[in-house]
Amino acid sequence: MQRASLDNYPGAILQARLIGLSWRMDGKWFSAVRAERELLSSKLWIMSRSLSKRSHSEIGRFMEIIDRSVLRQILIRWQAGEIDEREVHEEAEAILDRYTGERDLPESDERSIGLEVASQLEILNHQLITKDDIPVMLRFLDTERGREIEAWDEWRRYWDSIDYETRRRQLRHNTYYST
């Protein structure tokens, strides 16, 4: 496992997020998820995610809008087998933990699409979301401005068409899913 040192940020309250890395702060090593949870109340955020398919860093703050391109990259990495459903879930959870915008957005609001996808991915094990659903999620994320209502209609039609009993049977041996 790669390790990244955060000793260059003494005294800073940090939130570290990088799949496959451990983080060092104040002489202690943390997994990315543990560092994220322990340092979540931060004012300075260091969020790391894919760079050349694995890692890059950016400094940011709490988000008022969910960046669809970040969700898109998570889905593409999942589709490629670079991460599994548990990591997708954790990534979505981290995104929503940082999100400070409105949660009850009208479907005509372009921000509602990113929020919906992140919200579904955060509970993907309960919603029985699998890699099979990625193309629809990517299409939803690619919705052009002004076409949100149509995209929401297609989104709902897709989820209404799923045979959840069959899916539940298919996933019964995967302990991560709530079947």
Calculate mean pLDDT across residues 110-130: 95
Residue numbers of the domain that contains 39: 1-61
- Can you point out the beta strands (E) in 55-178? 56-60
DSSP one-letter code for 143: P
Q: Is the pLDDT of residue 176 over 70?
A: yes
Residue 105 shares a structural domain with residue 135: yes
Mean pLDDT of the chain, nearest integer: 75
Using 50, 70 and 90 to split pLDDT, how confident is the model at 161?
very high
Number of domains within the chain: 2
Query: What is the rounded CA–CA span in Å between residue 1 and residue 23?
Result: 11
Calculate mean pLDDT across residues 63-78: 91
Using 50, 70 and 90 to split pLDDT, how confident is the model at 6?
very low
Residues 14-32 have pLDDT tens digits of 333 333 334 444 445 544 5
Residue 163 shares a structural domain with residue 177: yes
Query: What is the rounded CA–CA span in Å between residue 176 and residue 127?
Result: 12
Q: Which residue has the higher pLDDT, 89 or 20?
A: 89
Residue 53 shares a structural domain with residue 114: no
Q: What is the pLDDT of residue 8?
A: 42
pTM over 0.85: no
Query: What is the rounded CA–CA span in Å between residue 57 and residue 71?
Result: 16
Helices H / strands E in the chain, number of each: 8, 5
Cβ(121)–Cβ(89) below 8 Å: yes
Residue 85 shares a structural domain with residue 172: yes
Measured in whole angstroms, how far is the alpha carbon of residue 110 from the centre of its chain?
A: 18
Cβ(95)–Cβ(71) below 8 Å: yes
Residue 73 shares a structural domain with residue 23: no
Q: What is the pLDDT of residue 64?
A: 75
Residue 112 shares a structural domain with residue 173: yes
Q: Residues 105, 119, 51, 44: is their CA dihedral positive or negative?
A: positive
Residue 159 shares a structural domain with residue 91: yes
Closest CA to 93 of 134, 33, 41: 33
* Residue positions counted in the chain: 179
Q: Is the pLDDT of residue 118 over 90?
A: yes
Domain ends where: 46, 61, 76?
Answer: 61
